Amino acid sequence: MQQQQHIHHLSHHHLHLPLLPHHHLLLLAVLVALEPRELAAWGASVKYAVNCPERCDPARCGAPRCARTVLDDCGCCRVCAARRGEHCYRTVSGAHGVKCGPGLYCDFYKDEDEYGDEYGVCRDCTYGTYGVECRQTCNCKAGGLCDRETGVCLTFKFFSKMANALKTHEGE
């Protein structure tokens, strides 16, 4: 008890830090221990990547037997890419998992499967985003739409013809 009072005294008076619950301190210590280059390599998946090796070992990966593949959450191994409407799971380096293909994201359910794994269903990227897990932002002019897989700006001939017809009509 006396030690807790001392820590409380230090955190509030000398260090100007709030008193945090023990699990918050543990999480903070883990995040501080991670090197910035490791965080950058993990990207947006840092909260889901588990058991990632320090260095990728292709021998641990295996060869997925599927039409399309994507990198696992650690960025090491190729795993099968699920299509729109198919189930997706969190992935772990060197283990099985299913991530959504480009142009899709995994909309996770609140429940877990019978093995305790989180899973969901693959859904289209929202407008304005594209790529694997919809991490990229479209840069099309005037709020134009981009291809959800590649990010290429889309042009619709019908709308172009209508715009040209309006310009011609206004000029008369």
For residue 107, the model assigns a pLDDT of 92
Compute the distance between CA of residue 58 and CA of residue 49 in angstroms, rounded to an integer.
Answer: 17
- Taking 80 as the threshold, does the pLDDT of residue 70 lie above it? yes
Confidence of residue 6 (pLDDT cuts 50, 70, 90): very low
Amino acid 78: pLDDT? 85
Read off the pLDDT of each residue in 106-120 and give the average, rounded to a whole number: 82
Secondary structure of residue 163 in the 3-state scheme: helix
* pLDDT score of 112: 79
Separation CA 170–CA 42 (nearest Å): 53
Cα–Cα distance between 73 and 47 in angstroms, integer? Answer: 10
> Is the predicted pLDDT of residue 42 greater than 90, yes or no?
no
Q: Which two tokens stand for residue 101?
A: 């293909």
What CA–CA distance (Å, rounded) separates 119 from 76?
A: 21
The model's pLDDT over 125-157, given as tens digits with 9 standing for 90+, comes to 998 999 988 999 999 987 788 999 999 998 877
pTM: 0.52
Backbone angles phi, psi at 162, to 5 degrees: -65, -45
